[in-house]
Each structure stands twice: as structure tokens, then as C-alpha cells.
Structure 1
Amino acid sequence: MFQHRPSLKSVDQLLQEFMSKDFNIMNAAKLSFTGIGDKDVYNISAPFEDAGEFVIAGRVESRDSEHSEVYFFVEKEGQWLPREDAPVLRLQDPFHTRIGQELIVGGVQTFPHPQKANKLMWRTVIYKGADLANLNLFFVGPDGMKDLRLVELHDGGIGVFTRPQWRGKKGGRGKIGFFQVSSWEELTMTAIVEAPLLDQLFYDSEWGGANEAHRLRGGKIGVLGHIARYDKRGRSYYPMVFTLDPQTGERTDVELIAVRAHFVPGPSKRPDLEDVVFSGGLLRHEDGTATLYAGTGDAEAQRITIDDPFIKYET
């Protein structure tokens, strides 16, 4: 299926390319949350409209814990507070999209590892419904797979991005696969596990995933994601983008769109997470800019304004 072979580039190569380009990064700001005690909010989604108001989904947890919940927040006088009567989901790293008339919301569910004592396993779970008030659990993904993402295609089908992460097997530390279905009935565990990987995307020593998929003018899909590695600082995560033509399988090279230094300095959950920027969502604007919403350091939620990374791919 995937005939085009774009350039395989390491994080170091991507950083060198990114820092050599002219780019505009503005308006870095932390988002302020209230109504959740002393817990952190991070790995937020971009705002989306629900029942006439804009909502942000955010991962909420204590600094010393991995047990999190997803809250839905609305902004009041510069503060984001939990929306009354909105569901609270026992998930990490929320995402959303719309397919047809339905709102799709998902995240990472953790549970005790079936073979390792005191360790956690994870999987992606997906809810859908007319709005937040009417969400129902719809799909539970394979054990060990985060970052399962859906997007409505121009022909009415559904594009599915996968992220196998099976050490010594398909996916290694974490790679991205893609396939299409024409109906919800075709979204099966087998189809996800067997989805082909996008070629020439990450080195085996590095990893990444899709965080959000945008349907672009002209038929392509714009993918907002992350690429990551271990280095002397611990884990480094970088926001990145690429585009995919779902009809031909051709995709563009991975490009970085920001680094941790472009955000406001702040705390991290642990010292080895200081250089983590987890892409949450991208809100595109008509003036050629976009707002990137992200988690920083696994401890805070921030946003910055950048040049729209997808506009050059739209025809």
C-alpha cells in the first residue's frame, strides 16, 4: 500500500532542520485550572465545542501518582474549571474528534499488568455519542497500545491510526500504523493488530505516536503527533507533524513544530521528564496560524501560537 518512501530522520536530524528554519512561535502561556484540589492537569486536548460552549479535556492526577482521571473543563474569567454535569473518565491522555454527527472521545486506560507484579498495563478506550452528556463506551483497543486515533475521511470512511508497542515484535518502542474502514462494524481488534506500519517513520531506538488527525483540503490527513527518545536528560518528547494521503499511502517527512524551550519554564513530574512536550491538539486559525495545546513535563498544560504547519499541504 505505502509506495512513497520519505526520508527516515533521527531526532537529532529533525532538531537541526527545525532550528535552521525561520519560524514564528508566540504567546506561550500556561493554562490555569481550578476545582481539582492540588492535582496537576496536563496532556490536554485542544478546545472543542459541545452544547454551545468550548471545552478542554485534561489529564488530572497527583504529582506522585500515575492514576489519573480525565475532566472536561470550561473557561470562566481566565480560569479553567470542571464543567458541571460532565462525565469524569478514569483515563489518561484524552483525545477527541467528530465523525458524522457523533462526538468521539477516548484516552488511555491503565490496569494491573497480568504478568508483572506492581506494574501497569494500558490500552486505548473510545467513547462516542451525540455530545458529552450522552457518551457511551464504544471500543476497547488491544492491551499495550496507546495512541489509537480516528479521523473522518473525505469519502465518508474512517481512517484509523494505530501504535503497536510490542518489544521484539511489531512496533518495537512504538510506531504508527494506518488503515481504513467504511463502517464502525469494520473497526475490529484484528484489523488494528494487523494494520500496516507507516514506513521510514522512526528509528528503532526512538518512538512516537499520533495524537490528533486533521482532515485537510485536497484529501490528505494532517497528523499531529510526537517523536521521543532517551538521552542524558531522560526522556525527550517533541511535537511533530506529517501528512498522509489515505488513497495512495504517500506521506510527507516528519517535521518538528516546537521544543520545550518555546514554552514557559515550569516543574516536571520527575527530573527525567523535564524535556517532555506531549502534543495534545492543534486549533487552526484563518490567519495562517495555529494554537498548539500540550502537556509539559507531565505536570502542566500550556499553549503556544505557531505558523499553521498544514496549510502548505492543502490544495
Structure 2
Amino acid sequence: MSVAHQTKTCNDLLKEYLAKPSACTNPLKLRFDGVGRNDVYNITAPFEDDGEQIIAGRVESRESEQSEIVFFVEREGVWTRHKDLPTFALQDPFHTRIGGELIIGGVQTYPHPEKENFLAWRTVFYRGSSIRNLSPFFTGPKGMKDIRLIGLADGTVGVFTRPQGTIGGLGKIGFTRIASLDELTVEAIDEAYLFEGQFIDAEWGGANEAHLLAGGRIGVLGHSACYDERMDRHYYPMVFTWDPETNSLTEIELIAVRDDFLPGMAKRIDLRDVVFSGGLIRNGDGTAHLYAGIGDAEAHRITIPDPFVPFEAKGA
């Protein structure tokens, strides 16, 4: 694997981003209906299902982390709970399409087997022709969030991973390639190699969404995160690209910060600077819409320069 750059901390990346005028425009706080007083955050970008544009969101009370994934459809500017679609007892939804199938996933929490009053987690995947007929088909390794899949041009499947612990520390991004969804196994994920040079050991990150770019590279929308001296959390939306044929990795760069979005609420004071990348809609005109969870309490959208255009230019 070739990595020709030096590891940058969140503070390094933030300084680089703030040194340039912000190009973010049209900030919007999304409105939701049909969930009572619960919060909706860590949303996906809109995607098509049975002819409708759908957003999946994490729904929970401000005082709890017991959440469910709910599907919403837009009605007169408000994202309204789709009463005909199922819900899932999961956190942090994501989606993709591979081989004509819709893939939906999220994070499942359960009582920690060794630590009393603590939760453990794993990533659960569903597949089907539409949301109405999704079936579970894979459960990831214990303790691993941010597993993401992408169909590649040759019919194989790219798998982004994020181990923590002895391998991965607080969380580093890995990659492996499998022949098909039927070969997605815990063993395949455990054998993924880690990208070197992305995060220092005191910080972490993960992939949130993968885009197949013209020319064969994979554009990754993710997050880079850290604690400050007060142990407050800081999550920054970031991107990088990966070429699975040449094993070339580009540097992480931030694409937005909390102040680019509208003011809003946070679940707790230590989460005020959390921007969790939900999804990116590339508009085809050099801009993109970034959908994000804000402060573990709200869902917002902004317009940004499409971060992947430079990597699709001839010779990039």
C-alpha cells in the first residue's frame, strides 16, 4: 500500500479547513413528523425506494440511546414517517445498492457480556428488492461499527471496516474485497488490512458512505473524531479516496465543520461539536448536498463543493 503523506490530527485538519473561506451554502435543518417528541438524527441522504424518495433516520428520546431506524418520505417540506414501512431496532442507518439489491444496515446494541451496565455493539445488514421485503443476511464482528459496502465495476464488492481494540485502537479504517455478498463473513472482515497514516492513536475515524467514481477510485465520505482536554467529543465530516487496483490512498480532508450548519440542539454538552456524516448527494454541477446528524439530536443539510470532482479529472 502506498501512503506518501504524514498523519494529520483533527487539529491539523481543522486548521487547514479554517484557513480557507467556507464554501458551504444553503444550510437547512430538516423537519420530521410522526415520531412524537423524539429526536431524529444521523440520517442517510435521500434514496429511491419503490418510486419514492426516502430518508432513514435514527430516532430516540433525548434522554436515551435506545433507538430505532425509521423511514421518512417528504411531504410539503416535512419528512414524515412512512407508516407502511417497517422499523428496525438499530442505530445510525446506512444504505447502498449492490447487484440490483437494496442494502440497509445499522448498529445493534445489546448488554455487554462482561461489563455490567455497559452496552456492546455490532453492525447488522439487511437485503432485498425494497424496504418492504428486507431480510437480515449478515451480522458483523462484535464491537465493530462503520462497516460499509460498495459494488465495484468488475462485480466484486468492496468492504470498509473499522476495528477497535488491539487492532485499530480507538478505531481505524480497513478495506477488503470479496467476490459477492455471499462471501461477506466475519472472517473476511477480520482479514481486512488497515489504511496506514490516517489517524493518530489518540483519535479515530470511520467510513460512512462509499461512492464509485469515474476512473475506478472509491470516494469515501467519513468522519474524523477526537476528544479535547475536557473529554468533549469533536466529529468532523471528511473525505478521502482509495484506488483498489493500485492501492493508492489520498489524504483525509475536512469538508465541513459545525459552524457551517444552522444553530441547534445537542443531546449533551459534550456532543455540541459532533457532525456525523450521513450521506452525500452529488448534484452533477460541481456541488453536493451533505446530510448530517448534528449534536446527536438533529438532522441538517448543507450544500458544498462536490469533494470528489477533482479525483475524476483526467489523470487524477
Q: Structure 1 length normalisation: TM-score?
A: 0.97
Q: Is the 8 A contact 1:3 1:250 kept in 2?
A: yes
Q: Is the 8 A contact 2:159 2:176 kept in 1?
A: yes
Q: Is the 8 A contact 2:164 2:171 kept in 1?
A: yes
Structure 1 counterpart of 2:282, one-letter code: R
Q: How does 1:41-120 map to 2 (within 5 A)?
A: 41-120=40-119
Structure 2 counterpart of 1:83, one-letter code: H
Range with bigger deviation, 272-281 or 177-186: 177-186
Cα separation, 1, equivalents of 2:124 and 2:290? 24
Of residues 270, 273, 276 in structure 2, which corresponds to 1:278?
Answer: 276
Structure 2 counterpart of 1:241, one-letter code: V
How many residue pairs match? The answer is 312
Deviations 1:276-299 (A, max 9, x none): 000000000011100000000000
* Residue aligning to 2:138: 139
Deviations 1:166-185 (A, max 9, x none): 1xx00100000000011223
* Residue aligning to 2:254: 256
* Residue aligning to 1:192: 189
* Residue aligning to 1:310: 308
Segments of 4+ moved more than 4 angstroms: none
Q: Is the 8 A contact 1:59 1:70 kept in 2?
A: yes
TM superposition shift of 1:18? 1.1
* Residue aligning to 1:149: 148
* Residue aligning to 1:32: 31
* Residue aligning to 1:14: 13
TM superposition shift of 1:203? 0.5
TM superposition shift of 1:22? 4.3
TM superposition shift of 1:21? 2.7
Cα separation, 1, equivalents of 2:167 and 2:134? 32
Cα separation, 2, equivalents of 1:245 and 1:208? 19
Deviations 1:144-185 (A, max 9, x none): 00000000111111000000011xx00100000000011223
* Residue aligning to 2:205: 208
Gaps in structure 2 of 5+ consecutive residues: none
Structure 2 counterpart of 1:280, one-letter code: G
Cα separation, 1, equivalents of 2:39 and 2:81? 13
Q: Is the 8 A contact 1:23 1:307 kept in 2?
A: no
Q: Indicate the RMSD between aligned Cα atoms, in angstroms.
A: 0.9
Q: How does 1:212-291 map to 2 (within 5 A)?
A: 212-232=209-229, 234-291=232-289
Structure 2 counterpart of 1:283, one-letter code: I
* Residue aligning to 1:163: 162
Aligned-partner SS, 1:9: coil
TM superposition shift of 1:243? 0.2
Structure 2 counterpart of 1:309, one-letter code: P
TM superposition shift of 1:3? 2.5
Cα separation, 2, equivalents of 1:64 and 1:232? 25
1:174 aligns with 2:153: no
TM superposition shift of 1:257? 0.3
Q: Is the 8 A contact 2:44 2:279 kept in 1?
A: yes
Structure 2 counterpart of 1:215, one-letter code: L
TM superposition shift of 1:186? 2.0
Cα separation, 1, equivalents of 2:4 and 2:143? 28
Q: Is the 8 A contact 1:6 1:251 kept in 2?
A: no
Cα separation, 2, equivalents of 1:44 and 1:102? 20
Range with bigger deviation, 4-13 or 258-267: 4-13
TM superposition shift of 1:23? 4.2
Deviations 1:253-296 (A, max 9, x none): 00000000111111110110000000000000011100000000
Aligned-partner SS, 1:272: helix
Gaps in structure 1 of 5+ consecutive residues: none
Aligned-partner SS, 2:193: coil
Cα separation, 2, equivalents of 1:66 and 1:226? 20
Cα separation, 1, equivalents of 2:3 and 2:48? 36
